[in-house]
Each structure stands twice: as structure tokens, then as C-alpha cells.
């Protein structure tokens, strides 16, 4: 199936495709330029509570944002890690998506602003996410959440981080995770799949941009083969929490994400894998473009409700 017609106008706009910054701009300059770019308005879900808080990171305190869809205490909780190639995005860019996920799932959701590359390289952002998830579990009573019903979730690079946080939680003896939601995750920074070649140009996320993200994230390109950078290369996936893996048909990351879903199944992990036809990378954050974004969020919400009994 070709790209959904809803995206045709956007793909024709100058600068819509993601490209590395020009020489001299760097990651910080690109972040500033993107922050200054006008974005289409996105309706924000009205929730019972949305408030900023601090959580523990690997080396410093991190900004986070708590979303509570209802007033009830002891809600299931989702630790959310934003995308952006380990380099871009923050609490604000993903605020509408986090609100929608909290509403759809009935769970409290905590979005974590981990340290970004290249200022903090691998494994720093990953260790931040793990430390934050562990911190949430220890502060359950304070935050009104149930640590026995905890999930991790992330999109794109955040999906990579969520996948590896689940592995670390298994290997380090906690926190106990009941579910993981991986949305368009990168799972193999050392390889190049068929979809990475097929959709390297003309489909929003370019191969050139992916290579730049990886260069920013990794201090040494050989680290791409580390299973904590590329979870598809983990030798053992048994004992991980059940998963939802979301992929987009026209996404360079599609094949490696689906390969990870297959590896999880082969290891005995229950998996719900959904490929959304005609969609581009990051479509869940584009409800102003496609109604499929709302459908996918509703699907994830139902998965989380079923898994966490929200």
C-alpha cells in the first residue's frame, strides 16, 4: 500500500523531511530552530491532573510530567519516554500525545525528560530512563500509583529506551514491569533492514537523519552492536513483560521493530503487533493529518487497560 493520501500535501512541503542540521548549527541549534517553527494546533485532552515533578535520573534530577486521567488513587502507571532520535524533543513536544494516552488507557502516565545526546551519550539517556522508572516505583504512595501495575512506553527512540528499560528491569531485579508499549522503535542501530533502504527518502524520516541520530547518541560506532543500544541483538528476551509493538507501513524502522516483536514471541513473551497501513514514522503525534492517529492511540489504550486492569 502506498503512503496514505492524507500525507501527500505535507510530504510536498519544503523542509518537511527530517535532515541533519547544516554545518555549524549542531544539535542545540536544530532544537532551537524546530522549537521556533510553527506547528499545527493539536487539541489537548483535559485530564483530572497534569503537573510537573522531579524524578531521579542516573546522575541528576530530571524533569517529568504526571498525567492523571481521573481522581482515583492507586492508578496503574505508565513511564513514558519521548522520541526524537535521542537528540530532539522534550516534555512539551509530546504533551498532547501523553494526554491522549493517559485518557485512552485510564492510567496515570509520567513523561520523563531524560538527558539527550550528543551532550549525554549512550548509555546515559538509557540509565536516566531506568533510574526514573525505578524512582516511580519507590514513590508509589506519594504519587498515588500502583507499582504492581506498571508499564513502560515510548515512541521511536523512546521506544528503544522503553524496550531496554524492560530488559534492565528483568536483569537488575526490578522495578517489576507488567507491560511494555513500543511505538515505532529502533531496535537495531547496527543493521540496515529492507524497510530502512526502501523508505530512506521521501517518507519523513530519512536514512541520512537516522545515521546522524546514531552518531550523536553513540560515542563509538561499535557500540551500535551493544544489546543495550540495539535490543534486537539481545541474546535472551525470555522473561520480559508482555508487549504491544506498533509499526508504520512506510517507516524505515518498520522491519527492525517487527523483527523485535517476532523475537519476543519466539522467547515466549505475549505480543500484540500492529502495522498501520499507509502511515509514516511518528504518525501518532499527527492527529491533525490522519484520523488513524486517534485509532492507534485508542488501540494502545485498550491494550494497557487489559494488561493493567485499568
Place of cell 505535507: 10
How big is the chain, counted in residues? 310
Residue 38 in this model has a pLDDT that exceeds 80: no
Residue 37 in this model has a pLDDT that exceeds 90: no
Decide if 296 contacts 289 (C-beta within 8 A). no
CATH code of residue 74: 3.40.50.1820
| Residue 291 or 43, more confident | 291
Place 235 in a pLDDT band, splitting at 50, 70 and 90: very high
Q: What is the tally of structural domains in the chain?
A: 1
Residue 35 in this model has a pLDDT that exceeds 80: yes
Is 195 one of the annotated active-site residues of the chain? no
CA atoms 283, 285, 288, 292: torsion sign: positive
Residue 43 confidence (pLDDT): 83
Mean pLDDT of 120-128: 98
Residue 14 confidence (pLDDT): 83
Mean pLDDT of 55-73: 97
- Per-residue pLDDT tens for 177-215? 999 999 999 999 999 999 999 999 999 999 999 999 999
> Of the listed 100, 156, 195, 230, which one is catalytic?
156
47-71: burial string, b at 16+ Cβ within 10 Å, e else: beebeeeebbbbeeebebbbbbbee
Is 214 one of the annotated active-site residues of the chain? no
Residue 39 in this model has a pLDDT that exceeds 90: no
| Among the ranges given (24-38, 176-190, 253-267, 285-299), the one the predictor scored with the smallest mean pLDDT | 24-38
Mean pLDDT of 126-138: 98
CA distance 202 to 182: 24
Residue 310 confidence (pLDDT): 67
Range of the domain at 115: 5-308
Is 4 one of the annotated active-site residues of the chain? no
Q: How does the average pLDDT of the chain come out, rounded?
A: 96
CA distance 142 to 288: 36
Residue 225 confidence (pLDDT): 98
Decide if 79 contacts 22 (C-beta within 8 A). no
- pTM for the whole structure: 0.97
CA distance 125 to 131: 10
> Of the listed 4, 6, 251, 255, which one is catalytic?
251
Percent of the chain with pLDDT over 90: 92
Residue 166 in this model has a pLDDT that exceeds 90: yes
Place 284 in a pLDDT band, splitting at 50, 70 and 90: very high
Residue 302 confidence (pLDDT): 98
The H-assigned helical ranges of 147-236 are 157-172, 194-198, 207-217
Amino acid at each position: 500500500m502506498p503512503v496514505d493520501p492524507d500525507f501527500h500535501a505535507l510530504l510536498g512541503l519544503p523542509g518537511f523531511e527530517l535532515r541533519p542540521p547544516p554545518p555549524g548549527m549542531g544539535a542545540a541549534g536544530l532544537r532551537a530552530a524546530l522549537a521556533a517553527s510553527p506547528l499545527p494546533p493539536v487539541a489537548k485532552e483535559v485530564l483530572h491532573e497534569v503537573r510537573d515533578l522531579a524524578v531521579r535520573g542516573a546522575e541528576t534530577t530530571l524533569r517529568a510530567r504526571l498525567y492523571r486521567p481521573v481522581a482515583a488513587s492507586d492508578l496503574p502507571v505508565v513511564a513514558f519516554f519521548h522520541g526524537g532520535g535521542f537528540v530532539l524533543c522534550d516534555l512539551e513536544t509530546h504533551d498532547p500525545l501523553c494526554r491522549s494516552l493517559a485518557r485512552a488507557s485510564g492510567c496515570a502516565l509520567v513523561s520523563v525528560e531524560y538527558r539527550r545526546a550528543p551532550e549525554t551519550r549512550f548509555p546515559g539517556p538509557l540509565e536516566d530512563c531506568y533510574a526514573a522508572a525505578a524512582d516511580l516505583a519507590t514513590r508509589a504512595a506519594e504519587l498515588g500509583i500502583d507499582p504492581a501495575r506498571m508499564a513502560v512506553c515510548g515512541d521511536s527512540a523512546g521506544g528503544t529506551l522503553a524496550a531496554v528499560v524492560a530488559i534492565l528491569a528483568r536483569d537488575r531485579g526490578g522495578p517489576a514491569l507488567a507491560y511494555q508499549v513500543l511505538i515505532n522503535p529502533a531496535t537495531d542501530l547496527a543493521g540496515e533492514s529492507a524497510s530502512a533502504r526502501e523508505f530512506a527518502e521521501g517518507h519523513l524520516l530519512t536514512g541520512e537523519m537516522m545515521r546522524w541520530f546514531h552518531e550523536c547518541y553513540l560515542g563509538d560506532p561499535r557500540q551500535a552492536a551493544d544489546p543495550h543500544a540495539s535490543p534486537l541483538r539481545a541474546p535472551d528476551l525470555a522473561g520480559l513483560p508482555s508487549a504491544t509493538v506498533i509499526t508504520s507501513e512506510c517507516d524505515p524502522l518498520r522491519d527492525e521493530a517487527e523483527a523485535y516483536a517476532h523475537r519476543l514471541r519466539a522467547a515466549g513473551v505475549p505480543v500484540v503487533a500492529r502495522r498501520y497501513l499507509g502511515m509514516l514514522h511518528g504518525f501518532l503525534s499527527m492527529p491533525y493529518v490522519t484520523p488513524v492517529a486517534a485509532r492507534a492511540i485508542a488501540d494502545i489504550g485498550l491494550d494497557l487497560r487489559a494488561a493493567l486492569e485499568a
